[in-house]
Chains A and B, each alone.
Chain A
Amino acid sequence: MDEAQAVEILESLLKHVDADGAEASFHSGARFTARFADNRLTQNVQAENATVSLAVSYGQRHGGASTNDLSPESLKALAERAQAAARVSPPDPEHMPPVTPEEAGEYSQVEAWDEATAALPAGERIEAVCAAMKDVEAAGYRLSGAHTSSAGLHVLMNSAGVRCAHRSTESELHCTALGDHGSGWAQATSVRDADIDTAGVAREALEIARAAQHPTDIEPGRYTVILRPAAVWEMIPFYLVCDAKATDEGRTCLRGKLGTQIVDERVTLRSEPAFAACPGAPFQGDGMASSGLSWIGGGVLKHLCTSRYWARQSKRLATGWPSNLIFDGGEASLEELIASTERGILVTRFWYIRDVDPMESLLTGMTRDGLFLIEDGKISRPLIQLRFNDSVLGCLNRLEAIGQCERVENTYVPALKIRDFNFASKTKF
């Protein structure tokens, strides 16, 4: 469905609304996944959906509903359901009226659409994946993974006159190469299918897997680590953006720290909707322009995720939530980071990271798919996987070096070298 059709649907929906305030949004998407395991295709899956959501308010009373039945009767029923919920809800002192165009600010020009990717060429994806599997099989390894291409449209209209639309495509491939005694993993994400080098990603996973065979033990303890970008993505950025209200109420690890140095001064974490290598969305779910700003600049906590309500209460900028996160990188290549390390551990990626004590940004998680000991500036042997218990703020205060960036999901993150990283226990493979 295109923008004009979406607008038509939202306009007809808003005609059924008699509430004081209304915000209607349309999300449609289609995606194709070629999934594989053990050098064989396992699932080829295509799906499309289009959903309309409506939030309405009578004064401070509000309610919401959504449906993917876009028939005229269903849209009418949707308006009735949302309004019925709003009418019986007690007034919410934190409810804000719909965003006005002036308040919304200027939307960034975000280029995130690729026609060829949106066409979801299933046959091509399947062929590329099969060719990669043949290469890996010939090397005596087993390839598993998934390649997903997707296209989406988001249109938003509200009763205060905001109307905005954004469409985006994404192509994401991840591969695990498995030998009898160890595995490797690699990924690539882009707006464009054409950017994804299927054979190259599979080869990278294979090279890591080759080096990871027959791992041996190392005692848990504190080690210097080099985290590759995929490991950084999973452990670092999301724990550094906290809700402003919860923080001001003393309920997050960033309580009382706004405006202060929280991590190494080389750390800058920011959002920039139009960042070409990893674009975000130009507007938030309520129609506010997505902010281009630094959450952390020069190691100083500059902003918390601030809702419109909390911005008014705390007299700060309404930032909303980030739609992309960019951790500014350095010059050092991974090889240089390794070469500069006398003794340390190289982490390909993490798995199953969870909070242990969110108030201390203390996390636990496992390493996965390639863990290596570095001695005298060289990889000396593969290691049995380890569990870590360490804090995000602590790690970024023990920063040794920042490497080059890579896009991982909706972040653009570097490899990091961190000293005294705490490994707590080991597993059996």
Chain B
Amino acid sequence: MLELCRHAVGAARSLGADYADARVMEIRNQHLATEDQRVSGVHDAESMGIGVRVIVAGAWGFSATSRLTRPDAERAVRQAVEIARSGAAARATRELHWADEPPHVAEYRTPVRKDPFAVPVEDKIGLLLEVNKRALGVKGVTKCYSHMHFRRQHRWLATSEGAAIESDVCTSTACCTATAVNGTTAKQRYLEATPCNIGYEHIEQTPFLEEAERVGAEAVEHLSAKSCPSGQKDLILLPSHLALTMHESIGHATELDRAIGMEESLAGSSFATPDQIGKLKYGSPMMNVVADNTLPVGCASMGFDDDAVECQRYDLVREGMLAGFMCSRDTAHAMDAARSNGSCRADSWGSIPIVRQSNFSLEPGEAPLTLEELIADTKDGILIDGMGSFSIDQKRYNFQFGGDCFWEIKNGKLAGMLKDVTYWAITTDFWGSLDAICDRRFWEPIGVMNCGKGDPMQIAQMSHCTAPARFRQINVGPANR
């Protein structure tokens, strides 16, 4: 396949492209879904194709086809060059900057101990049905859905600069959702093997069978939980929940293409702009956010991005101050960076690479601190687990989040479950109220598989890592106030 990529790149150069890259991807997705004691779907999808990206006379062109013969690849090259020329002729392209990167010749492979596609379908289904059975065994649970999803992305990338990269990335996840229904409403609770770049061992290490009954019981308990009081409360957010708040209020806000207006019409822009690096107070001094596409289990880790830039680790927020953005080779200049930090990815062979969120981490606290100690230190608060409702404005200021499960904290102790909890804040106020983070022992990656961005929309995956953390005096209440 690298040969076909090199051939396409050569063809583009001979048609006058100043730069060209060609990327073949073979993507396989396996979904297994169950509802109660039935298998609702087993589907195995594979998709393969080539995408060719060129710069001609300062304008970009991209064309992709699912046909992988040389003549078809050449046709895609001609189309890419042609639409780049149309763009150049219209004299309305923006000035092109293209950050240097050594031409890597390399391979990358997700460390996988057990290939999930080689595990027999009946074994996977068997586990899902058993999980459902145990959750449904809890009185009051009337519905249980569970599913597994495995993704393999095999990529070959060649550039006119001489880069030649092969990567083979494997992602695994599973989730079980129990629903309890009474006469008036329904409540759900989920248990997840969070998406990670890893093999089936991840599913085996997640205590689905051990925890299924607890998950069912918590769904039932949620039905009769006390409604959320309105007011200001201290929030202790578990990694399973905080990851999404980080994704929305830090991740999207520090995508450089958004920050410079390139995503205005769809995803929006950002309150953070490159001129504020080192000046914008993003949060409290204990807030350190580090992007890391070298983290092996991180869903964005692929060795090299689709700009053929080596994956890196870099700062986004340092001691509460904005420190950087995630970028691509053609946006790095906007923050005066000589080199891209390798955050440019496409969701398939048929999509053009764009700036995507890296894996990133809220660095854990340095002093030893357990979740129990943090709860014991909190007088009047709410503990939130799991992802629920989430919404944020297009500049990433005003957000409102729900969650999957909530417990009141009174005088250092958990004091029963709450329902209808939402909290809302302005991003910088929220991060400014961060006053405690548990230590590295409690730090974990949480994967996101459905991040939408771009136009046409592309769906990307990445991970956000954190330990439980506390935020002081946040507005909470039921949303229908």
Interface residues of A in 155-180 (CB under 8 A from B): 174-176, 178
A359 close to B185 (CB less than 8 A): yes
A51 close to B47 (CB less than 8 A): yes
Q: Which residues in B have their C-beta under 8 angstroms from that of A9?
A: none
B350 close to A49 (CB less than 8 A): yes
A68 close to B48 (CB less than 8 A): yes
A391 to B478, CA, bound (A): 13
A425 to B63, CA, bound (A): 44
A38 close to B43 (CB less than 8 A): no
B83 close to A126 (CB less than 8 A): yes
Chain A CB within 8 A of B337 CB: no
B264 close to A122 (CB less than 8 A): no
Closest A residue to B53 by beta carbon equals: A45
Give a binary string over B278-290; 1 marks a CB under 8 Å from any A CB, 0 the rest: 0000000000000
Give a binary string over B171-194; 1 marks a CB under 8 Å from any A CB, 0 the rest: 000000001010101100000000
A38 close to B480 (CB less than 8 A): no
A251 close to B49 (CB less than 8 A): no
Chain A min CB distance to B395 (Å): 6
Which of A44, A176, A351 is in CB contact (< 8 Å) with B83? A44
Chain B CB within 8 A of A229 CB: no
B83 close to A88 (CB less than 8 A): no
A364 close to B265 (CB less than 8 A): no
Closest B residue to A89 by beta carbon equals: B39
Q: Which residues in A have their C-beta under 8 angstroms from that of B395?
A: 427-429
Chain A min CB distance to B98 (Å): 14
B262 close to A42 (CB less than 8 A): yes
Interface residues of A in 19-42 (CB under 8 A from B): 31-33, 35-42
A122 close to B82 (CB less than 8 A): yes
B94 close to A42 (CB less than 8 A): yes
Interface residues of B in 57-101 (CB under 8 A from A): 59-66, 79-80, 82-84, 86-87, 90-94
Give a binary string over B345-368; 1 marks a CB under 8 Å from any A CB, 0 the rest: 000001110000000000000000
A352 close to B480 (CB less than 8 A): no
B86 close to A126 (CB less than 8 A): yes
Chain A CB within 8 A of B275 CB: no
A68 close to B46 (CB less than 8 A): yes
Q: Which residues in A have their C-beta under 8 angstroms from that of B122?
A: 88-89
Chain B CB within 8 A of A424 CB: yes
Given the contacts A44-B62, A122-B83, A387 and B265 also touching, CB distance less than 8 Å: no
Chain B min CB distance to A187 (Å): 10
Q: Which of B318-326, B419-427, B435-443 contacts A (4 or more CB under 8 A)?
A: B419-427
Interface residues of A in 69-123 (CB under 8 A from B): 69, 81-82, 84-86, 88-90, 92-94, 122-123
Which of B83, B87, B121, B455 is in CB contact (< 8 Å) with A85? B121
Interface centre among A37, A39, A42 (most CB of B within 10 A): A42
A31 to B83, CA, bound (A): 13
Chain A CB within 8 A of B161 CB: no
Chain A CB within 8 A of B479 CB: yes
Chain A CB within 8 A of B390 CB: yes
Q: Which residues in B have their C-beta under 8 angstroms from that of A176?
A: 264-265
A46 close to B90 (CB less than 8 A): no
Which of A47, A351, A357 is in CB contact (< 8 Å) with B351? A47
Chain B min CB distance to A13 (Å): 14
Q: Which of A59-67, A210-218, A279-287, A330-338 contacts B (4 or more CB under 8 A)?
A: A59-67
Give a binary string over A141-155; 1 marks a CB under 8 Å from any B CB, 0 the rest: 010111010000000
A90 to B422, CA, bound (A): 41
Given the contacts A44-B83, A428-B398, A352 and B40 also touching, CB distance less than 8 Å: no
Q: Kindly state the interface size class of chain B when it binds its partner.
A: 35 or more
B44 close to A64 (CB less than 8 A): yes
Q: Which residues in B have their C-beta under 8 angstroms from that of A183?
A: 264
A93 to B38, CA, bound (A): 7
A398 to B426, CA, bound (A): 30
Chain A min CB distance to B392 (Å): 6
Q: Once A and B bind, how many residue pairs between them come within 8 Å at the CB atom?
A: 252
B394 close to A368 (CB less than 8 A): yes
Chain B CB within 8 A of A43 CB: yes
Q: Kindly state the interface size class of chain A when it binds its partner.
A: 35 or more
Closest B residue to A49 by beta carbon equals: B66
B66 close to A50 (CB less than 8 A): yes
Interface centre among A45, A122, A175 (most CB of B within 10 A): A45
Chain A CB within 8 A of B229 CB: no
Chain A CB within 8 A of B125 CB: yes
Which of A31, A94, A353, A362 is in CB contact (< 8 Å) with B479? A362
A366 close to B393 (CB less than 8 A): yes
Q: Which residues in B have their C-beta under 8 angstroms from that of A90?
A: 38-39, 125, 129
Q: Which residues in B have their C-beta under 8 angstroms from that of A47?
A: 51, 62-65, 350-351
Given the contacts A47-B64, A90-B129, A142 and B261 also touching, CB distance less than 8 Å: yes
Q: Which residues in A have their C-beta under 8 angstroms from that of B400?
A: 364, 387, 389, 424-425
Chain B CB within 8 A of A133 CB: yes
B389 close to A355 (CB less than 8 A): yes
B40 close to A94 (CB less than 8 A): yes
B121 close to A88 (CB less than 8 A): yes
Interface residues of A in 358-390 (CB under 8 A from B): 359-360, 362, 364-366, 368, 385, 387, 389
B398 close to A427 (CB less than 8 A): yes
A81 close to B390 (CB less than 8 A): no
Closest A residue to B82 by beta carbon equals: A122
Q: Which residues in A have their C-beta under 8 angstroms from that of B390?
A: 354
Given the contacts A94-B40, A356-B422, A144 and B261 also touching, CB distance less than 8 Å: yes
Q: Which residues in B have their C-beta under 8 angstroms from that of A49?
A: 47, 49, 64-66, 350
Given the contacts A63-B42, A176-B264, A357-B480, A126 and B393 also touching, CB distance less than 8 Å: no
A352 close to B391 (CB less than 8 A): yes
B66 close to A427 (CB less than 8 A): no
A97 to B353, CA, bound (A): 42
Closest A residue to B28 by beta carbon equals: A67
B261 close to A37 (CB less than 8 A): yes
9 A-B pairs with least C-beta separation? A427-B398, A40-B94, A144-B264, A144-B265, A130-B90, A47-B64, A47-B350, A389-B479, A88-B122
Extra pairs beyond A85-B42, A389-B481 (9, CB < 8 Å): A37-B263, A39-B92, A44-B87, A64-B44, A66-B47, A89-B121, A92-B38, A356-B480, A368-B268
20 A-B pairs in the complex with CB atoms less than 8 angstroms apart: A32-B83, A35-B455, A41-B94, A43-B60, A51-B47, A65-B45, A66-B47, A68-B46, A89-B39, A89-B121, A130-B91, A145-B265, A146-B266, A352-B391, A364-B422, A364-B479, A368-B393, A387-B400, A424-B481, A425-B398
